[in-house]
Amino acid sequence: IYHQAPLVQPSTQEASDLLFYCTVVHDFIHEHHTTEETVYFPAIEAASGIVGLMSNNVEQHRQLEKGLDAFRKYADEIAASAYSSDVLRRLIDDLAAPLETHLHEEIPTILDLHQKIDSKTMQRIYGKMHDEAERISDKFKYIYPPLQFLVLAICLCALAY
């Protein structure tokens, strides 16, 4: 999105498409965080017996919400004729630091779980999260049918960076 934003001109189909894509990316990240918070993290805390073990990750999700909500609001409310790559990139810039922190800190937190939870239990927990994520991702297939595979692939790549 960040790279493509300045290449898109206002009052074009590309502006409409990019704004729509921004809503898809927002929804994907929101659903990912929701699944972690309602399925994955509670199961990890229950298996480890450590209440609040994943609270730092949840707090980081809260820190991202304001920026994600502003990003979604812009994509929802701005007309293609008023599209501004500067505004869109500024919204992404505002998300960059908390998102980078979250992505860097969540990985070691999850990797360190092997010291608290046995592998078989972690596989079972991950399986539950995977099943829920797949169930939720079905809505992306039905809500955004022309983009179903492309959107999912791009979102996963974007989250990897």
What CA–CA distances, in Å, run from 34 to 3, 8, 28, 51, 79? Answer: 27, 31, 10, 18, 29
Decide if pLDDT at 105 tops 70.
yes
Please answer whether residues 31 and 100 qualify as being in contact, where contact means their C-beta atoms are separated by less than 8 angstroms. Answer: no
* Comparison of pLDDT for 139 and 35, the residue scoring more: 35
Decide if pLDDT at 146 tops 90.
no
* Predicted pLDDT at 161: 47
Determine the distance from the C-alpha atom of residue 160 to the mean position of all C-alpha atoms in its chain, rounded to a whole number. Answer: 10
Mean pLDDT, to the nearest integer, of 106-135? 92
**pLDDT 10s digits, 29-62:** 999 999 999 999 999 999 999 999 999 999 999 9
Mean pLDDT, to the nearest integer, of 145-153? 53
Name the DSSP class of 39: I
* Predicted pLDDT at 137: 77
**Percent of the chain predicted with pLDDT > 90:** 76
* Predicted pLDDT at 143: 59
